[in-house]
């Protein structure tokens, strides 16, 4: 293996939730590795706009919980770049609270965003990948798909991410013989907008850090490195796995 196996020259990547956090860091790293990216989110941020205004990348506004959005997003990617090689299924939301009080509207929001939408986006992306006989999909799961978190209570969120991991396993089994690799990345506590409130709360932050053997939180850039590995030819014999990047959180 050489470092060239980590290059993405000539590749086109679609990244949902690409306007901030892990999605944006992944887009930035993919660009450094030679890929061109279609970023998608409900709206652009200054950082994502700076990337697209540079000319090599594009942005397509979409609410991926809209059933029509995934097909439109893939169509926009194909219209802009002519092909689709990599999907990073990153968009997601978190919500928590007592299970017995968790109402159907909140449940639907979690499942629609974290499971049903990624299912639809992957389904739409799979079609052009099948036509070209190659592709790589990276679904963003969570350590919450493996454990019960504390101190927060989040049955619905954890269930949605566990489902993403299983979806990844079965997709990989179904499409391995057709040139398409499917893997998942399960981040631990990462310094993103989704987790920042907890990290700024001294009591919650202490619990999270104390339960992470490395004693610190991860960064979006560290998750981007993992996504690059899974998406690139460096992982050419890797499919159906969930790569946990959590500072050791799930070791106990």
Beta bridge partners of residue 51, listed in sequence order: none
Residue 43 located in a structural domain: yes
**Residue 50, pLDDT score:** 87
Residue 249 located in a structural domain: no
- Which residues in the chain come in under a pLDDT of 50? none
**Residue 105, pLDDT score:** 96
Instruction: Give the position of tokens 């004693």.
Output: 215
Q: Residue 217 contacts by C-beta under 8 Å, 6 or more apart in sequence?
A: 188, 189, 190, 191, 195, 199, 208, 209, 247
Residue 102 located in a structural domain: yes
- Domain holding 91: CATH number? 3.40.50.720
Residue 251 located in a structural domain: no
Contact indicator for 231, 86 with CB cutoff of 8 Å: yes
Residues identified as active-site = 157
d(CA 19, CA 155): 27
> Could you tell me the residue range of the domain that residue 178 belongs to?
4-243
Q: What pLDDT digit, counting tens, does each position of 80-98 carry?
A: 999 999 999 999 999 999 9
Number of structural domains, the chain? Answer: 1
Instruction: Give the position of tokens 């709206």.
Output: 43
Q: What pLDDT digit, counting tens, does each position of 207-252 carry?
A: 999 999 999 999 999 999 999 999 999 999 999 999 999 999 999 8
Coil, strand or helix at 84? coil
Residue 164 located in a structural domain: yes
pTM exceeds 0.75 for this model: yes
Residue 248 located in a structural domain: no
**Residue 206, pLDDT score:** 92
DSSP letter at 181? E
Nearest CA-CA partner of 90 in 119, 118, 123, 128: 118
Coil, strand or helix at 220? helix
């Amino acid at each position: 293996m050489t470092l060239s196996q980590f290059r993405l020259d000539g590749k086109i990547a679609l990244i949902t939730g690409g306007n901030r956090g892990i999605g944006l860091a992944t887009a930035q790293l993919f660009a450094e590795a030679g890929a061109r990216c279609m970023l998608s989110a409900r709206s652009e941020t200054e950082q994502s706009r700076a990337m697209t205004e540079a000319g090599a990348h594009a942005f397509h506004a979409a609410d991926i919980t809209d059933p029509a959005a995934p097909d439109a997003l893939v169509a926009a990617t194909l219209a802009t770049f002519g092909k689709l090689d990599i999907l990073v299924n990153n968009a997601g939301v978190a919500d928590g609270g007592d299970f017995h009080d968790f109402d159907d509207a909140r449940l639907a929001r979690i499942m629609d965003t974290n499971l049903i939408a990624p299912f639809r986006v992957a389904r739409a992306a799979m079609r052009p990948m099948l036509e070209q006989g190659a592709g790589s999909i990276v679904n963003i799961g969570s350590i919450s798909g493996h454990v019960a978190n504390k101190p927060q209570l989040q049955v619905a969120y954890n269930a949605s991410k566990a489902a993403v991991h299983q979806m990844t396993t079965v997709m990989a089994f179904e499409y391995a013989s057709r040139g398409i690799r499917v893997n998942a990345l399960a981040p631990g506590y990462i310094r993103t907008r989704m987790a920042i409130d907890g990290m700024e709360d001294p009591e919650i932050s202490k619990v999270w850090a104390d339960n992470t053997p490395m004693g610190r939180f991860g960064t979006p850039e560290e998750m981007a490195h993992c996504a690059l590995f899974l998406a690139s030819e460096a992982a050419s014999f890797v499919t159906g796995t969930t790569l946990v990047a959590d500072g050791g959180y799930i070791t106990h």
